[in-house]
Amino acid sequence: VTYRINVENLGPAVATNIEVTDYLPDNFEYVQSAVDPNVAQTTYTAGPQAPLGGTLSLYWTPGQSLGVGSVVNWDVTGYARCN
């Protein structure tokens, strides 16, 4: 499964020090993520049922910003596990 989170700055000013958090469902096994354009880095924190669930955070690289009207695409890939 791959899903996309769009991060958009609706203004009125340039955004800095951006952090986005995605709480993964308990049946989701995280594999990888990609950011386009590459202005941020991701961190995965395993949940109590590792490798399922957990938290995925997107942190803007220091010095990077998101201009008004700009969009960053965050694609997350993993497996949806059924019991």
Query: Does this model's pTM top 0.85?
Result: yes
Residue 83 has pLDDT above 80, yes or no: no
What is the pLDDT, as a whole number, of residue 19?
93
18-21 own/partner pairs: CB under 8 Å, 24+ apart: 18/58, 18/59, 18/60, 18/66, 19/57, 19/58, 19/59, 19/60, 20/57, 20/58, 20/74, 21/55, 21/56, 21/57, 21/58
Weakest-pLDDT range from 5-9, 15-19, 38-42, 69-73: 38-42
